[in-house]
Chains A and B, each alone.
Chain A
């Protein structure tokens, strides 16, 4: 049973860099995309970006200039950095496993972390 365990700083000041890490337990790290999604208080889901085991990334265009997602295959972990945070970045951040079926083109996120609440406040 694959599980994702995430952690990182929960309180940041404006202009600081958000840093979160997600560890993958109980399953293969290769063959999947590893994603970050966030949810501002009382609002919907926003996809931040993804990385595969070889380090290939895709980012949300609206966040691309501030986002870096990296992977450490030796530890089965992947990380998110979001620079120059503002109050608008206050949200619950989730990591998730993404699958992609090359035959059907089907993709989705089937395993999620528990979420980390990040608050940006001066």
Chain B
């Protein structure tokens, strides 16, 4: 049982916009910033969004993040086949540990 709650799956067709939600509590998302990680099959996770809505260098602007209260979301616009991956939200918890969501498997139909 993960501390942050994500839908187990999401899907979309090429070109579509999809969103993935992440729900937490006042001790994590409510008081700290949110990151999103993308994990392609068989590879290590990659930082996709940090500080709620910032993209590291090299991440396409098709990816965007937002946060409101104790929830956050990741949006992917102009969906591409290479976006098919697992996506994880994460946040620091005030109990001094990093917590993750259970992950969302994105399928491009």
A32 beta carbon closer than 8 Å to chain B: no
Given contacts A106-B50, A113-B44, A114-B44, contact A45 B88 (CB under 8 A): yes
Question: What chain A residues lie within 8 Å of B33 (beta carbons)?
Answer: 104-107
Q: How far is the CA of A47 from the CA of B33 in the complex (A)?
A: 16
A45 proximity list for chain B (CB < 8 A): 37, 45, 88, 90, 100, 103
- Is the beta-carbon distance between A44 and B92 smaller than 8 angstroms? no
Among A44, A101, A105, A115, contact of B88 (Cβ-Cβ < 8 Å): A44
B-contact 0/1 string along A56-86, CB 8 Å cutoff? 0011110000000000000000000000000
Cβ of B35 < 8 Å from any Cβ of A?
yes
Chain B min CB distance to A92 (Å): 9
Q: How far is the CA of A107 from the CA of B99 in the complex (A)?
A: 12
Determine whether the beta carbon of A46 is less than 8 Å from that of B100: yes
When C-beta atoms are compared, the residue in chain A nearest to B4 turns out to be: A44
| Most chain B beta carbons < 10 A, residue from A58, A104, A108 | A108
Q: Are A58 and B101 in contact (CB under 8 A)?
A: no
- Report chain A residues within 8 Å CB of B50: 106, 108, 110
Q: Is B60 an interface residue (CB 8 A)?
A: no
Q: List 24 A-B contacts (CB under 8 A).
A: A44-B2, A44-B101, A44-B103, A45-B37, A45-B45, A45-B103, A46-B100, A47-B90, A49-B97, A59-B97, A61-B97, A101-B51, A105-B33, A107-B33, A107-B35, A107-B92, A108-B47, A108-B50, A108-B90, A109-B37, A109-B47, A110-B50, A112-B45, A114-B44
Chain B residues with CB under 8 Å of chain A are 2, 32-33, 35, 37, 44-47, 50-51, 54, 56, 88, 90, 92, 95-103
